[in-house]
Amino acid sequence: MLEETVLKQIRSIPGNKKTLGQMMNREGVAGYVFILPFLVGFFAFIIVPMLLSFGFSFTRYNILGKPSFTALENYRTMFFSDPKFWKTFGITLYYVLFSVPLRLIMALAVAVLLVKSSKLSGFYRAVFYLPSIIGSSVAVAILWKRIFASNGVLNALLGVIGFHTETAWLGRPFTAMWSLILLAVWQFGSSMLIFLSGLKQIPVSLYESATIDGASGMRRFFRITLPMLTPTIFFNLINQIINGFMAFTQSYIITQGKPKDMTLFYTVYMYQNSFTYGKLGYGCAMAWFMVLFVGAVTLLLFVTQNKWVYYEAERK
């Protein structure tokens, strides 16, 4: 009540009303008013938790108890006495190293195939894009399990073409891992769309003059298409690498890390440590290691980009 009357009094002074309105309308202030949601969210849900977790990474912390400071113990355990840490890291690295390039190559190849427009272009585009929309869902994870089971679809289809087998694809380390990689490659659709729009932006005149100069199709691809697409490839690569390291659902649902933790992804192990074993301090340390590692990889790519990424503006 009191506040209201005070406010009324303030507003009744003509000069004040103006300055208040004016201040809100000043671009410098208005900008902050508009981005306020982002700023609040950024600090509340990213910066503060990140700083807290940095602190917790130096403690032994069970969710029920109080954190007790143990200095670098978590990091020491991680690096020197937890073989599972390096194992899951290596497995994830393997997954990224194969799934990301394969997915990008597939995306690029199909994009080149689809850039030629025909009556069926829309249909093809839809079919190739669909898996990347639903690929990370639990439904597809369940489906994948059935496909590669010993009495699953793959073996049945192999039987049809006369190759009878009862291989449990998800029961062997190598094939289990590759079924996960296959799932990732299957979702090449969104990268394909990005490449497709990149391809359409390459000036036709470049191809025309190259053809006149007698360049073959292969040569045109490697000398024009590929270099012109490098900025697109670059951003795709960074995105896919980050996403690849964060893969979770596939390993968690399809293989559950089996056999013998040979498909246990880093994020799943991090999850297990934090929520199954209740070692939140250790989980925080693992999360921070991942942030720094992925950050370093991203930085490395950015630093080396002028060696292989072609930006048109630079050459002018």
Partner 1 sequence: MENYSTHRTFITGIYHVFTFLFACVMIYPLLWMVLSSFKDTTEIFRKAQNLLPETFRLTNYTVGWKGFAGYGFGIFFRNSFLIAGLSTIGAVFSSSVVAFGFARCNFRLRSLWFSCMLVAMMLPFQVIMIPQYLLFNKIGWVGSYLPIIVPQFFGQGFFIFLILQFIKGIPIDLDEAATIDGCSIYMIFGKIIFPLIKPALVTSAIFSFMWRWDDFLSPLIYLSNPLQYPVSYALKMFADPTAGSDWGAMFAMASLSLLPIFAIFLTMQKYLVEGIASTGIKG
Residue 41 in the binding site for partner 1 (CB under 8 A): yes
Q: Which of 13, 156, 296, 299 binds partner 1 (CB under 8 A)?
A: 156
Coil/strand/helix, residue 60: strand
Tell me the window of 8-16, 39-47, 77-85, 221-229 that interacts with partner 1 (CB under 8 A): 39-47
Residue 23 in the binding site for partner 1 (CB under 8 A): no
Tell me the window of 79-87, 218-226, 285-293, 302-310 that interacts with partner 1 (CB under 8 A): 285-293
Residue with tokens 């720094």: 292
Residue 191 in the binding site for partner 1 (CB under 8 A): yes
How far is residue 214 from each of residues 98, 219, 220, measured CA to CA in Å? 36, 10, 10
Tell me the window of 91-99, 107-115, 202-210, 308-316 that interacts with partner 1 (CB under 8 A): 107-115
Q: Which of 6, 7, 19, 32 binds partner 1 (CB under 8 A)?
A: 32
Query: Which H or E run includes 59?
Result: strand 59-60
Total residues binding partner 1 (CB under 8 A): 99
Of 9 and 164, the one with the shorter C-beta distance to partner 1 is 164
Tell me the window of 8-16, 89-97, 202-210, 281-289 that interacts with partner 1 (CB under 8 A): 281-289
CB contact at 8 A, 60 and 67: yes
Of 9 and 197, the one with the shorter C-beta distance to partner 1 is 197
Of 13 and 39, the one with the shorter C-beta distance to partner 1 is 39
Coil/strand/helix, residue 68: strand
d(CA 244, CA 133): 16
Q: Which of 91, 177, 180, 284 binds partner 1 (CB under 8 A)?
A: 284
Residue 246 in the binding site for partner 1 (CB under 8 A): yes
Is 292 exposed, middle or buried, given 0-12, 13-18 or 19+ CB atoms closer than 10 A? exposed
Q: Which of 202, 206, 228, 253 binds partner 1 (CB under 8 A)?
A: 253
Residue 102 in the binding site for partner 1 (CB under 8 A): no
In angstroms, how far apart are the furthest CA atoms of the chain?
A: 92
Q: Which of 15, 28, 83, 162 binds partner 1 (CB under 8 A)?
A: 28
Residue 239 in the binding site for partner 1 (CB under 8 A): yes
d(CA 279, CA 265): 17
Q: Which of 31, 65, 203, 217 binds partner 1 (CB under 8 A)?
A: 31
User: Would you tell me the crossing angle of helices 189-200 and 226-245 to the nearest 10 degrees?
Assistant: 160
Q: Which one, of 142, 59, 109, 92, lies nearest residue 225 by Cα?
A: 109
Output the smallest distance, CB 215 to partner 1, in A.
19
d(CA 70, CA 61): 10
Binders in 197-236 for partner 1, by CB under 8 A: 197-198, 232, 235-236
d(CA 245, CA 133): 19
Coil/strand/helix, residue 165: coil
